[in-house]
């Protein structure tokens, strides 16, 4: 099991950075005005990490109990403070579980376990940020 992770970031002018881990590259940009960024804003990358990690944990737990889900989506929305350093003061995680025969109780139990035990990003963030999660269930399979 890997106990140390490493990312290397390189400045590419203005407020642009490219972070790499092995062959994977994440482009990040923090424009100083309202123009569109050339990549993820760093805090969007943090939300993506939370969405991906919590979604992976929920999918693993639902698979473990043989819940017949056929798709999973996660939306993460963060509210930032008005003063610097403009950290997230709260984050909302919205999970959509696709499948006709998934029981609501299974999802609720798995989501609680994801938060309390299996998602390292969630565990780190909730120490200083209010993280609220909700879920909905839909029968349609995602495209």
The domain ranges of the chain are 1-40, 42-138
Q: What's the rounded Cα separation, in Å, for the pair 54 and 61?
A: 11
Cis bond before residue 85 (omega within 30° of 0): yes
Q: E strands within the chain?
A: 8-11, 16-21, 24-29, 71-80, 88-98, 130-138
Write the pLDDT tens digit of every residue in 15-63: 999 999 999 999 999 988 878 899 999 999 999 999 999 999 999 999 9
Q: Are 29 and 37 in contact (CB under 8 A)?
A: yes
136 pLDDT band (50/70/90 cuts)? very high
Write the pLDDT tens digit of every residue in 107-132: 999 999 999 999 999 999 999 999 99
β-sheet with 71-80: strand ranges across: 71-80, 88-98, 130-138
Domain 42-138, CATH class in plain words: alpha beta
Strands 88-98, 130-138: pairing kind: parallel
Reported pTM: 0.93
Q: Are 17 and 10 in contact (CB under 8 A)?
A: yes
Q: Which of 62, 52, 54 is nearest to 108 (CA)?
A: 62
């Amino acid at each position: 099991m890997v106990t140390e992770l490493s990312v290397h970031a390189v400045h590419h002018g203005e407020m642009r950075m490219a972070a790499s881990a092995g062959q994977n590259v994440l482009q990040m940009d923090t424009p100083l005005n309202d123009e569109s960024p050339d990549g993820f804003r760093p805090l969007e990358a943090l939300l993506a990490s939370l969405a991906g990690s919590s979604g992976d944990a929920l999918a693993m737990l639902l698979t473990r109990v043989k819940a017949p889900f056929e798709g999973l989506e996660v939306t993460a929305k963060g509210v930032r403070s008005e003063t610097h350093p403009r950290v997230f003061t709260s984050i909302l995680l919205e999970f959509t579980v696709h499948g006709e025969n998934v029981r609501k109780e299974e999802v609720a139990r798995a989501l609680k376990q994801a938060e309390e035990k299996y998602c390292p990003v969630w565990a780190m963030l909730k120490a200083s940020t209010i993280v609220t999660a909700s879920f909905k269930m839909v029968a349609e399979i995602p495209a």
